[in-house]
Structure 1
Amino acid sequence: MEFDFSEVNIEYLIQARDLAKRDPELGATMLGLEVEMASLLADLKPKELARISLIKQPLLMPRQEHWWWSRLFVALREGRAEEIEAVIEHAPLVTVP
């Protein structure tokens, strides 16, 4: 079974590139990269970045802990808006390696 993550990859990297352009240090931290690598991403032109669409495998991996995903999925399934908000508030605390 084949899955095509190319659209997700390009959308994510466009957002990441824009963040790295505005604030290379924050971009690096959020991506789990060195500042130099975030700067390379920030310098990519749209045509260069578009080549990412050739990659069908996911370039992203969830970085949250198991407990975070479990809590999120259960809250989503149960429709508990307050719990969803609480879980999302923890995201910035656990995404940075």
Structure 2
Amino acid sequence: MDADACRRPHRRHARPQLITDRSEPISSVLEHLRDAGAPPALINTSFNRRGEPIVDTAEQALISARTIGLDFVILDDRLIALNSERNDGTT
């Protein structure tokens, strides 16, 4: 797996967290990624652009995610597709 996208651009490093307990809820997400042929990895980071405050509401998260150019956001138990070209109706 190429981990360059996971590194902080200005420092070129990452702080990985490994999920070893298969009972963790996030473990099933990683398994679905693996089954789909994707690397079983997620990026957990501050949700904001440089110079902006960290988002505090779902509405702010969606606005920020669209501005940043993300494809998907998970809010509570919903996967929201943001990129209309990839929107397969998953919400």
TM-score tier, shorter chain, comes to under 0.3
Bigger share in strand: 2
State the TM-score, normalizing by the size of structure 2.
Answer: 0.25
TM-score if structure 1 supplies the norm length? 0.24
Q: Which has the higher helix share?
A: 1
Larger Rg: 1
